[in-house]
Amino acid sequence: MSDHRKDYVSEADAFLAELHADKRNWTDSVEKEIRKHQRIAELRDNPNAKGNDQKLWSDF
């Protein structure tokens, strides 16, 4: 059996988690990515979700 600690959080990881938890530090691109992935999850989990009427290749 391994002696690795699975609950260990490095100082750097703790700092980054604290930094990310404060939404005031988020850039516009981070907020856009979050909204994008929330939309993807909503469309994945709810096929009848609003906004699912767009054709896959409509922008080409």
- List, for residues 1-57, the tens digit of each pLDDT value: 567 778 899 999 999 999 888 888 888 998 999 999 999 999 899 878 676 566 667
Instruction: Name the residue type at position 34.
Output: I
What are the residue boundaries of the structural domains of the chain, listed by start? Answer: 12-45
- pLDDT for residue 59 is more than 70: no
Residue 51: which region, alpha, beta or left (left: phi > 0; alpha: psi -120 to 50)?
A: left
pLDDT band at 60 (very low <50, low <70, confident <90, very high): low
Q: What is the pLDDT at residue 12?
A: 96
Tokens linked to 7: 């609950």
Whether 43 and 51 have beta carbons less than 8 Å apart is answered as: yes
Give the pTM. 0.51
